[in-house]
Amino acid sequence: MHHTDESARPTTSATPSNLALAGLRVAGERLGVRMDPPQLGQHTQDLLRSLGYGDDSIAALRGSQAIAG
């Protein structure tokens, strides 16, 4: 899928996100956000390594823009 609208693309800014909070309550209190979600591609390399991909394969995926980073 090709997006022409840049606002439709995921961002990688380090600023806090506007997140939809889950409707969960504990003892009548709504749960808050304890941390921001991971940045785009933050865990990609670790995940691919755990699946058996080597550094050269990961670099090729990154070079072809198949993965972020």
In this prediction, residues 9-37 reach a mean pLDDT of 68
Amino acid at 35: M
Domain segments of the chain as ranges:
40-69
Q: Residue 1: pLDDT above 80?
A: no
Task: Specify which residues 4 forms β-bridges with.
Answer: none
Contact indicator for 39, 14 with CB cutoff of 8 Å: yes
Write down the mean pLDDT value for the chain.
78
Q: Residue 6: pLDDT above 90?
A: no
